Amino acid sequence: MVYLFEAVDKTGRKIHLSKERWTHIRKKHPEVVDIDEIEETLKNPDKVTFPKLDENAGLYYKYFKHRHSPYKYLLVLVKYLNGEGFVITSYYEDKIK
């Protein structure tokens, strides 16, 4: 599988973004244009939450003030498997949920 990047988050876990997932993100969420913002969100998130319904998932949020939209928080959804994470999707939100 081709990875566009592999980042290490604040907890030391490796997280990667595959070419297939980047294609999905660009198709479903065309407002996400900067792959570097996804990587930055994983490396230096403003907040990370873990849904109660899925303990193997993490929601990484980062505020990007330069956006000309009320949706300024980039959300990166990560799934963990065998200690490593992979990006499922990414899109902008108006607030951290």
pLDDT, averaged per 10 consecutive residues of the chain (97 residues), comes to 90 94 97 96 95 92 90 96 93 94
Q: What are the domain boundaries of the chain?
A: 3-93
Q: Which residues pair with 24 in a beta bridge?
A: none
Residue 24 has what pLDDT? 97
Residue 2 has what pLDDT? 82
**CA neighbor of 24 nearest in space, from 15, 14, 32:** 32
Structure tokens at 94: 């108006």
Residue 55 has what pLDDT? 85
Decide: 21 and 87 in contact? Cβ < 8 Å.
yes
* Rounded Cα gap, residues 78 and 82, in angstroms: 13
